[in-house]
Structure 1
Amino acid sequence: MESKQYSTPDASTLGRSQYETGTEQRSRLLLIENDPDDARRAREAFETVATETEIEVATDGAAALEFLRERVEESERIPDLVLLALDLPEVDGFEFLENVRDDADLVQLPVLVLSDSSASSDVHESYERAANAYLSKPSDPDEFETVASAIDRFWLRRVSLPPHGF
């Protein structure tokens, strides 16, 4: 993964989910997924969307929280969006949501649950802990592109996301 300097958006671009790197715009996502095959499929799917997307991957909620807190402490840009699996080691998806929503620096970070569970209790608990959306993880690997495209069209190109102060 290449390293780039990200400029702070000016007043005319506040609320946009993309940050300029030279003349290109790129969105940053944090994928929290412990299944390496699903992480690979998600990364490959986002390579096909219109928005240039940089994806960081954490394999558990504890590593993801550490990643985000380091970004805040070092005044580095945090991701525009988090894609969160629920079934994670150490800190599961529900605990991750709770921690993010209790952190003043991260509370506005959009978190989309991407889970293979269709249990209504998981959907309910995700929204109770302030997930921004609950998406079913595709059972067909080729369907990852459809999900990535929908996320791109709505979350990365249509929604005005809160600017991060870094």
Structure 2
Amino acid sequence: MQPVPIVLAEDDEDDQMIVRKAFKKARFRSPLQMVSDGQELMRYLRAEGEYSDRQSFPMPGLILLDLNMPVMSGEEALAEIKADKNLKHIPVVILTTTDDQTGVNRCYELGASTFITKPVTFSGFLEVVSELQLYWFSLVDLPDDQNAQ
């Protein structure tokens, strides 16, 4: 199976570093791109501006999305993704610090595929990344990207 590109939308540089290290340690073969807020994520997904080269910035098969970001929150980005006929097929995994049940419910109502509360330790992140790899890339059939540009 061909590695599926993943985009992580996360404003915290420490969390970006931890996720990148966990991907490496778990030998995750999928390329990982990072953006810092929901607005940047939308530019990436729509191949706008600095993200116009699909060779360098491939359409993701999975989005990891933090909720608490500046400029455009993860919840706003999720709503925009799921309202866009060219993007709504992409699974979105919420990976955030909040575990408020109202927020969890809201994300599922907006179309999130999964909601994961961020672990506080590296070993916890490693476990989450390993489980993501097993679930999303071994057990689940992801949709083809018919809209790649």
Q: Normalised by the size of structure 2, how large is the TM-score?
A: 0.89
SS of residue in 2 equivalent to 1:157:
helix
> Which of the two has greater helix per residue?
2
Task: Structure 1: give runs of 5+ residues left out of the alignment.
Answer: 1-17, 20-25
Indicate the residue corresponding to 2:73 in structure 1: 92
Query: Could you tell me how far apart the structure 2 residues matched to 1:61 and 1:129 are?
Result: 15
- Residue 128 of structure 1 is matched in structure 2 by 109
Q: Equivalent of 1:70, from 42, 47, 57?
A: 47
Conserved? CA contact 1:45–1:145, under 8 Å: yes
Deviation at 1:65, TM superposition (A): 0.4
Deviation at 1:143, TM superposition (A): 1.1
On the 8 A contact 1:28/1:80 being kept in 2, the answer is yes
Residue by residue over 1:30-80, the C-alpha shift from the partner in whole angstroms, topping out at 9 and shown as x without a partner, is 000001001110011111224412111000000010011017x96934111
Runs of 4+ with deviation above 4 angstroms: none
Q: Please show how residues 24-39 of structure 1 align to structure 2 within 5 Å.
A: 26-39=3-16
Q: In terms of Rg, which structure is larger?
A: 1
The structure carrying a bigger strand percent of its residues is 1
Contact 1:112–1:135 (8 Å) recurs in 2: yes
- 1:157 shift after superposition: 1.6
TM-score normalised per structure 1: 0.80
Q: State the distance in 1 between where 2:135 and 2:93 align.
A: 12
Give the partner amino acid of 1:144.
Answer: F
Q: Cα offset for 1:156? A: 1.5
**What is the SS of the residue equivalent to 2:71?**
coil
Q: Is the 8 A contact 2:92 2:112 kept in 1?
A: yes
Q: Find out whether 1:141 has 2:118 as its counterpart.
A: no
Gaps of 5+ in 2: none
In structure 2, the CA distance between the partners of 1:102 and 1:49, relative to structure 1 (3 Å rule), is same
Q: In structure 1, what is the equivalent of residue 21 of structure 2? A: 44
Is residue 136 of structure 2 the alignment partner of residue 155 of structure 1? Answer: yes
How many residues align? The count is: 142
What percent of counterpart residues are identical? 27
For 1:52 and 1:162, the matched residues in 2 are separated by 18
CA RMSD of aligned residues (A): 1.7
